[in-house]
Amino acid sequence: MAGRNFLFVPGPTNVPDRVTRAMMVAMEDHRSPIFPELTRACLSALKPVFKTTSAVPILFPSSGTGCWEAAMTNCLNAGDKVLASRFGQFSHLWIDMCTRLGFEVEVLETPWGEGAPVDRYLASLSADKQHKIKAVLVCQNETATGVTSDVAAVRQAMNSVKHPALLFADSVSALASIDFRMDEWGVDVCVSGSQKGLMLPAGMGVTCVSQKALEAAKSATSKRCYFDYGDMVTSNATGYFPYTPSLPMLYGLRESLAMIAEEGLENVFHRHTYLASGVRAAVIEGWKLKLCATAPKWHSDTVSAIMVPEGINGAEVIARAFKRYNLALGAGLSKVAGKLFRIGHMGDLNELMLLGAIAGAEMAMLDVGVKIEPGSGVAAAQKYWRNHAAGAKSGSAA
Ligand code: PLP
């Protein structure tokens, strides 16, 4: 098909040309005397992205899923109890993994479209007088439903009943796009990946581990080997890895972290809010459709999950967009399959790129019979951005 592919799934996201170029390197010796410079550059530039001075960033040759597994197996004893909430496919998959690894999970079932139910976390934690719950899991940004949760409030709930459990946060589709504060929020393990806000290909698990979690890992009895924090931390301290790292990914990460630092992390967050707000204007004011997120407090600044009207199959919108307009939209997963499609708005993006996605989604919806006004989404997004663009810099918003 002529023209370029428009990639608007909520990860993998567009890799900036600058990062792609940085990744085009000849292979080199990962045990050379100069290699530690690259390791240290990546790990030290990650700390401000996690907003930590005391926790330790770790890179695994995996995706985010590997970091979920690392969190569970490094910090917990076999069969330990954990507390988690399920409100979308990714919070579900983490719970499923915990069960398959033999942990006991107390699940707070929550309607899809809502976020972490802080009051119910509090109730479970305060009922747990014997402190059987060893870890509290929360998905900061549920990519399947476009819902952002309040991780800080979960930490407050834990503190208010002086619960000593570890706090694990999934920030796979939030880190480097939506504010995340490892130290301030008292997060013990943050789980993320390369292919979202970090603007890299998939293939690197990016995680960060508090001193408390590293201490727990010293005596935790769960079986692990490849994903052992201790091996990684010991090796990284010398500037090396316990096994062969992916050089292109490390060079790419160094470059993407440099881009984030140049734009300024807070500006990156601001740009995401501003761009997401334009998409939401297109959905709500332009198309008169609903988001899966049931209230503004849950709105995600990295992904919008858009409910299609009764009688329309969201999968047909996605197929039409892909086949006719070369536009990749995110699918409805599991419980919401067919009921919605998703526009990812995370990473290396600006208004005009998003207008392409909005226009394409609009045309695909019209083609499959959704009764929307042609141009209405594009107009609403433009209106939003024009009204809120005071001081906007080219390619990075107001
Ligand atoms: N958690 C969330 C919120 C995600 O969006 C994803 C993937 O999209 C994952 C976990 C799993 O990460 P990965 O696909 O990188 O293994």
pLDDT at 389: 80
Asked if pLDDT for residue 319 goes beyond 70, the answer is yes
The mean pLDDT value for 184-189 works out to 98
Q: Is residue 360 in contact with ligand 1, taking CB distance under 6 Å? A: no
Sequence-distant (≥ 6) Cβ neighbours of residue 376 within 8 angstroms: 282, 286, 287, 288, 362
**Rounded to an integer, what distance in angstroms lies between the CA atom of residue 248 and that of residue 24?**
7
Q: Strands, E, within the chain: which ranges?
A: 6-8, 56-60, 81-86, 104-109, 133-139, 141-142, 147-148, 166-170, 189-193, 205-209, 290-291, 303-307, 327-329, 340-344
Asked whether the beta carbons of 350 and 396 are under 8 A apart, the reply is yes
| Residue carrying the six token digits 């569970």 | 72
Q: Is residue 172 in contact with ligand 1, taking CB distance under 6 Å? A: yes
13, 67, 143, 227: residue to mutate for ligand 1 pocket, most atoms within 8 A of CB: 143
Q: Is residue 205 in contact with ligand 1, taking CB distance under 6 Å? A: no
CB-count exposure of residue 162 (10 Å: 0-12, 13-18, 19+)? exposed
Output the CA 65–ligand 1 centroid distance in Å: 6
pLDDT at 172: 98
Asked if pLDDT for residue 397 goes beyond 60, the answer is no
**Rounded to an integer, what distance in angstroms lies between the CA atom of residue 23 and that of residue 202?**
13
The mean pLDDT value for 215-238 works out to 98
Mean pLDDT of the chain: 97
Sequence-distant (≥ 6) Cβ neighbours of residue 87 within 8 angstroms: 110, 111, 112, 113, 114, 115, 116, 139, 142, 145, 147
pLDDT at 165: 98
Asked whether the beta carbons of 73 and 223 are under 8 A apart, the reply is yes
260-267 contact pairs (CB < 8 A, 24+): 260/49, 260/176, 260/198, 261/45, 261/48, 263/396, 265/48, 265/49, 265/176, 267/396
Asked if pLDDT for residue 375 goes beyond 50, the answer is yes
Output the CA 295–ligand 1 centroid distance in Å: 23
Asked whether the beta carbons of 175 and 144 are under 8 A apart, the reply is no
**Rounded to an integer, what distance in angstroms lies between the CA atom of residue 338 and that of residue 106?**
29
Output the CA 388–ligand 1 centroid distance in Å: 31
pLDDT band at 391 (very low <50, low <70, confident <90, very high): very low
Q: Which atom of ligand 1 is nearest to the CA of 144?
A: 5
The mean pLDDT value for 278-282 works out to 98
pLDDT at 1: 82
The mean pLDDT value for 262-274 works out to 98
**Rounded to an integer, what distance in angstroms lies between the CA atom of residue 42 and that of residue 1?**
38
pLDDT at 62: 97
Output the CA 127–ligand 1 centroid distance in Å: 31
Asked if pLDDT for residue 73 goes beyond 80, the answer is yes
Sequence-distant (≥ 6) Cβ neighbours of residue 254 within 8 angstroms: 22, 38, 41, 42, 45
pLDDT band at 392 (very low <50, low <70, confident <90, very high): low
Structure-block tokens of residue 226: 């490849």
**Rounded to an integer, what distance in angstroms lies between the CA atom of residue 352 and that of residue 354?**
5
Q: Is residue 198 in contact with ligand 1, taking CB distance under 6 Å? A: no
The mean pLDDT value for 130-154 works out to 98
205 phi and psi angles, rounded to 5 deg? -85, 130
* pLDDT, tens only, 4-52: 999 999 999 999 999 999 999 999 999 999 999 999 999 999 999 999 9
At 184, is the secondary structure helix, strand, or coil? coil
**Rounded to an integer, what distance in angstroms lies between the CA atom of residue 219 and that of residue 236?**
20
Structure-block tokens of residue 220: 């935790």
Output the CA 194–ligand 1 centroid distance in Å: 10
Q: Is residue 87 in contact with ligand 1, taking CB distance under 6 Å? A: no
- Residue whose Cα lies nearest atom 13 of ligand 1: it is 64
Output the CA 78–ligand 1 centroid distance in Å: 24
Structure-block tokens of residue 93: 């998959």
9, 60, 65, 191: residue to mutate for ligand 1 pocket, most atoms within 8 A of CB: 65
At 85, is the secondary structure helix, strand, or coil? strand
pLDDT at 166: 99
**Rounded to an integer, what distance in angstroms lies between the CA atom of residue 167 and that of residue 82?**
10
pLDDT at 394: 47
What share of the chain has pLDDT > 90, as a percent?
97
At 91, is the secondary structure helix, strand, or coil? helix
